[in-house]
Amino acid sequence: MTEQPPSGRRRLSIRALRGALGVGLASVLASAGLVALSAPAQAADNLGDAAAASGRYFGTALATGHLGEQDYAATADREFNMATPENEMKWDATESSRGSFNFSGGDQIVQHATAAGMQVRGHTLVWYSQLPGWVSGLGATDLQSAMDNHITTLMQHYAGEIYAWDVVNEAFQDGGSGARRPSPFQDKLGDGYIEHAFRTARAADPGAKLCYNDYNIDGVNAKSTAVYNMVKDFKSRGVPIDCVGFQGHFNPQSPVTSDYQQNLERFAALGVDVQITELDIEGSGSAQADSYRKVVTACMAVERCNGITVWGVTDKYSWRSGGTPLLFDGNYQKKPVYDAVLQALGGTPGGDPGDPGDDPGDPGSAACTATYAETQRWGDRFNGQITVRAGDSAISDWTVRVTLHSPQTVPTTWNGQASYDGSVLTMRANGNGSLGAGQSTTFGFTVMANGNWSAPAVASCTAT
């Protein structure tokens, strides 16, 4: 991805918009033209659209190593509207030696996600694990400045491209004590490092939501209560925090407890969003489906639970692959748990989204895909090209919606019929609507950046 100045490509603050308008996330974002959540009129047949219908997102962890596998990318692009880099933005990947930053993996995830109409969660800035040895070796003063520099450099590099950052990850101990976990940060900087990290993060990118993220805080227990007390303290003293991430790694020994929803509710009542950030539940069949259903149903019942991310696309690449904890099997087939999740989100299971024949009421929806690429950049503008490809069946017409980023404008388009609604450009086929199965065509447009060089995002492709 081309490096760009951090200033001038900031989107409006989602947090600020939401607070000011007091309305659902999807409608705020849609009206501001900020993101690619599509809100279909009919019951959705994929996870992202189903979640978007209630103003939520449904995301996945993505790993660069698998993006070249066609089924992996196609499944991710079809089902999810939020992506978290599984490892690519962690400290060991981004600053393995002091002051020398590598954004290649993170950039690749952002680029893929954006082209597919997904937003991105940033994961993670300050964590005891996947931390290079040089950090652990620093004395307190140096460690403080290294932490500040790491937070600021990452957040400014990705400013305008990250929906929410996990600023601090896993800072509390397991067990009943509610104590802080020993780490270089905790041991040398003391309890105040978390507050300091959040203040530094807010200054670095005021447009991103700032989350605290942890595991085994899913139900009401000593660890979650310790986190709760910290968030409560932050809110009472004006320390900037917008969300709490509940990782949600479950198995039969560590099941979803009956107080799951109650726990989400007590955090939401503190005035933060709650997000399920790394959901995976080991098991299979109806037991696995029941557990997933509990999590999704709880999130849907809590207004400030605004999104769910599963920790991977397919069982075969899960970090707990032996436990088959995800929604797609190793052949990218939907498992029984998939339908349970889709239904709990309000969607309609049973269809193959690639096959327009499945839903008689919706002939041809999702029968095409659209992929964005920048083809040229000069002076104050760039050209974007969208490749429209028919799915498994021939199509006779297509419509693609593209979200631009304020204050971008489009002076000219080609190979389609353009109309505009706020920051959304709608392109209809113009003599190039008829495509055989798998065939593609392209259309293009020029974007005046007006200081914002963010890539336009494909919001939807529909065909008949």
**Among all residues, which ones are annotated catalytic?**
170, 278
How deeply is 175 buried, as exposed, middle or buried, from its count of CB atoms within 10 A (0-12, 13-18, 19+)? exposed
Q: Which is nearer to ligand XIL, 230 or 429 (CB)?
A: 230
How many beta carbons lie within 10 A of that of residue 304, not counting itself?
19
Work out the widest C-alpha separation in the chain, in whole angstroms. Answer: 68
Helix axes 192-204, 140-157, angle to 10 degrees: 30
Q: How far apart are CA 105 and CA 108, in angstroms?
A: 5
How many beta carbons lie within 10 A of that of residue 424, not counting itself?
18
Which helix (H) or strand (E) is 402 found in, with range?
A: strand 398-403
Residue 440, phi then psi, degrees to nearest 5: -135, 160
Q: Which is nearer to ligand XIL, 240 or 245 (CB)?
A: 245
Q: Provide the minimum distance between the beta carbon of 124 and ligand XIL in the complex, in angstroms, as a whole number.
A: 6
Q: How far apart are CA 432 and CA 439, in angstroms?
A: 11
For 189, the token pair is: 């900087």
By the 8 A CB rule, do 365 and 74 touch?
no
Residues in contact with 264: Cβ distance below 8 Å, sequence separation at least 6, in sequence order = 246, 274, 298, 299, 302, 305
Q: Which is nearer to ligand XIL, 158 or 443 (CB)?
A: 158
Q: How far apart are CA 283 and CA 279, in angstroms?
A: 13
For 171, the token pair is: 């800072």
Q: Sheet containing 417-421: which strands, arranged edge to edge?
A: 417-421, 424-428, 398-403, 457-463
Which helix (H) or strand (E) is 164 found in, with range?
A: strand 164-169
Q: Which is nearer to ligand XIL, 171 or 302 (CB)?
A: 171
Q: Provide the minimum distance between the beta carbon of 247 and ligand XIL in the complex, in angstroms, as a whole number.
A: 6
How many beta carbons lie within 10 A of that of residue 306, not counting itself?
26
Binding site for ligand XIL (CB under 6 A): 86-87, 169, 247, 278, 319
